Chain A
Amino acid sequence: MTTLTPDRSEMIRRFGLDKQNDATLGRMLATGNIAQADEGPDGRMSAVVRIVPDQLVWDPSILVLPHGGELDIEFVNDDQNTHCALVPSNGDSQWIWLPNYTRGTVHVTLGGPGYYWFSSNVGNDEGRGLIGAIVVMGDVPASARLDRPPQPRP
């Protein structure tokens, strides 16, 4: 039996899971690039996320934040079709049209550790690959932690 370890990237490439209409019809989720957001002196974070032409994938498809807080994402649609972005944020999700060759910035607030999906929620952009993840690292405030000795983690 073949598995996807130890070289996961190579196996994804070999099977064509990181392309449109190769092994799969669309593109497997979370097989795109990974990047970390920039952090300003005030702790506000920023990133640029593009749509790769004819690939229906966000670049990066996994955006890593060092902590929760305010984030500015500039979306750039390099594709020759119209898409959009629905991004979770405390209060209300943010939604933006992304016609061909446009760019626009979305401001979101994410409160704490975990990961959050964003997507282009039209047609079946999501199934074809336009679902990305925003990963928030870090811990909750000390005031929110349990009063107990440190415990083992997986």
Chain B
Amino acid sequence: MTTIEYRPAPPPVNFGSLTTATGTAPPVAADVTYERILDARSEPQNWLTYYGAYDGQRYSPLDQVDTENVTQLKLAWVFSFAPQGLHAGQSTYAFENCPIVVDGVMYASGWDGWVWALDARTGQLLWQYKHAIPFDTSLCCGNVNRGVAVANGKVFVCTLNAHVLALDATTGACIWDVTSGDVRAGESLTIAPLVVKDRVVVGSSGGEFGVRGHLDAYDMETGERVWRCYTIPKPGEPGSETWPADGDAWARGGGNCWITGTFDPDTNLLYWGTGNPAPDFDGEVRPGDNLHTDSVIAVDADTGEIRWHYQCTPHDLWDYDSNMECILFEQDGRKLLAHFDKNGYCFVLDRTNGERVNIFPFVDRITWGEITPDGQVTPRIYPDKEGEEVHFYPGPAGAKEWTHASYSPKTGLFYVPVQDIGATVARRRREFKESIPYWGAAVVVDAEDMAGSVSAFDATGQEVWRWRNDLPMCASTLATGGDLVFAGTPSGQFVALDARTGELLWQFNCGSGHHSSPSTYSVDGKQYIAVPVGWGAWVEGFLPGMMGGPHGQAMMVFSLPDGIDSSGGR
């Protein structure tokens, strides 16, 4: 018998070393301070924070690409990425990112724990970080991550297994890693962090699994948690009277903060949207208004205390999260915010005190109920009797999902990606068990008779124009100083609209549907528009008619060809 002689295998390597990554990025993030983020719009070459600036307007003053020359917009580069091996949510991953750009370096996150630094001019991969994500993480809505924050030489990112990380912005090496949530309870993190002062603010996901939602602030340098704000009060705390006095309904109440908030340094308040109550559709087990679910909450940035709240859908029975952005703007000397809610209404509030200023509908079909301009809520169609189907508009993905509206201070208009699609829901009670979906219903979202648009509204609720699309619009809009509005469609078209008229000026087929947030920046005086392309996530919730649409995984970046004068004609 021959004895086998074993030899040493070649040494193991980081898988990322088998790519074209250079391994380092220029130290541009070292000088990104709170003060710079406060004044982000004064450096339009960069996109320093999730919404471009703390006000959430998703507006850039860059105007090199304008209504006259946008027809000549061309693909500048593509960063394409595909997963290796099996990963969580193999059928639901999507590229929901909003790229951050600092002085020629783009920082982006993808599904399943990926973070990349790219040369913003060429798309060259500089470094990548990969967090190991458990295959069996509880994910209601796909394997997604919405972005990173950058400050003080670090890149901050959340992971699906509920960790918050600080990475070295020049190498991608992990500086600190804290566990923020409990995956065994069904918690995860999908949010893009927000840096405020010396803190990193993140909110949890897991409302479909009956967790107790919270917003957390971590010390930027150490990762130590500075405060935690639970959105659902414990018995005896303010708001607890809106939950049953007996039992654990409050402890499973949801109200998660899974979308980035906005911040006003003058009020020192964070404006954050909260998610649905749990169970989503079975209200009988949680009688009351269920604060602070489906609300805009104003949170003291220093202490994490809720200063005021406005609940958009009291005692929600339709899965109408209010997580989506609060856009800060001024009108007639008042400090206001605008919040386009899943329930089909826009809420304009005084952001100093939460006082209601205006409420108006922004989608054609609203049948679940009615909210009057003075804030009176009247439910009309909702799952009530066990097993009895009801059909209502908007469906549980809302008239606008989490994807963001934008606001141009030049035009004074909000540009809203609208989903007009209904759903059939029957209440189906179930027991609560940790980490198991806790909807309390059978849900089928329509796959026909639907529509979408980018709709432009002024703050009074006047619809100024509407660009119609056959399919619901499921991606964030971007407004620019070139009087353009960019938006991506579920079929893959990336379109540029005239911000004043809604006229379609340009489009490009990106090959996969859009469910992300484009941004714009410039390098060496040249403006670029970047859009992460990658259909997926909760498609069965917001557009089941496109369940078969191709997944994508590319950062696509556009610019004018060299030699095009920004004042050139069409």
Contact A111-B161, Cβ < 8 Å, known A91-B173, A97-B9? yes
User: Counting CB contacts under 8 A, is B12 at the interface?
Assistant: yes
Contact A116-B6, Cβ < 8 Å, known A86-B15, A144-B162? no
For B85, the chain A residues whose CB sits under 8 A away are 86, 88, 93, 117-119, 121, 126, 131
For A101, the chain B residues whose CB sits under 8 A away are 4-7
Instruction: From A6-14, A38-46, A135-143, give the one contacting chain B.
Output: A135-143
For A106, the chain B residues whose CB sits under 8 A away are 12
Interface string of B159-189 (1 = CB under 8 A from A): 0011100000000011001111111110100
A102 touches B132 (CB 8 A): no
Q: Which of A76, A77, A113, A154 contacts B134 (CB 8 A)?
A: A113
For B161, the chain A residues whose CB sits under 8 A away are 111-112, 114
The interface size of chain A toward B, counting residues with CB under 8 Å, comes to 55
User: Counting CB contacts under 8 A, is B130 at the interface?
Assistant: yes
User: Counting CB contacts under 8 A, is B18 at the interface?
Assistant: yes
User: Counting CB contacts under 8 A, is B145 at the interface?
Assistant: no
For B130, the chain A residues whose CB sits under 8 A away are 88, 91-93
A86 touches B84 (CB 8 A): yes
For A77, the chain B residues whose CB sits under 8 A away are 9
A140 touches B134 (CB 8 A): no
Instruction: From B146-154, B390-398, B430-438, B450-458, give the one contacting chain A.
Output: B430-438
User: Counting CB contacts under 8 A, is B10 at the interface?
Assistant: yes
Complex alpha-carbon distance, A109 and B17, angstroms = 18
A91 touches B9 (CB 8 A): no
User: Counting CB contacts under 8 A, is A3 at the interface?
Assistant: no
Q: Which of B132, B182, B230 contacts A90 (CB 8 A)?
A: B132
The winner among B4, B9, B16, B252 for most chain A CB atoms within 10 A is: B9
Nearest B residue (CB) for A151: B434
User: Counting CB contacts under 8 A, is B8 at the interface?
Assistant: yes
A90 touches B177 (CB 8 A): yes
CB distance from A133 to the nearest CB of B (A): 8
B8 touches A102 (CB 8 A): yes
Q: Which of B62-104 contact A (CB under 8 A)?
A: 84-87
B251 touches A103 (CB 8 A): no
For B7, the chain A residues whose CB sits under 8 A away are 99, 101-103
For A147, the chain B residues whose CB sits under 8 A away are 212, 230, 234
For B128, the chain A residues whose CB sits under 8 A away are 92
User: Counting CB contacts under 8 A, is B466 at the interface?
Assistant: no
For B17, the chain A residues whose CB sits under 8 A away are 92
In the assembled complex, 19 residue pairs joining A and B whose CB atoms fall closer than 8 Å, in A order, are: A86-B84, A88-B132, A89-B132, A91-B129, A91-B173, A91-B174, A93-B130, A113-B183, A115-B136, A117-B86, A117-B87, A118-B85, A143-B225, A144-B179, A146-B185, A149-B248, A149-B251, A151-B185, A152-B433
List 15 extra interface pairs beyond A91-B14, A99-B7, CB under 8 A.
A88-B133, A93-B132, A94-B14, A96-B12, A101-B6, A102-B6, A105-B12, A110-B132, A111-B163, A112-B161, A114-B134, A114-B135, A117-B135, A140-B182, A152-B432
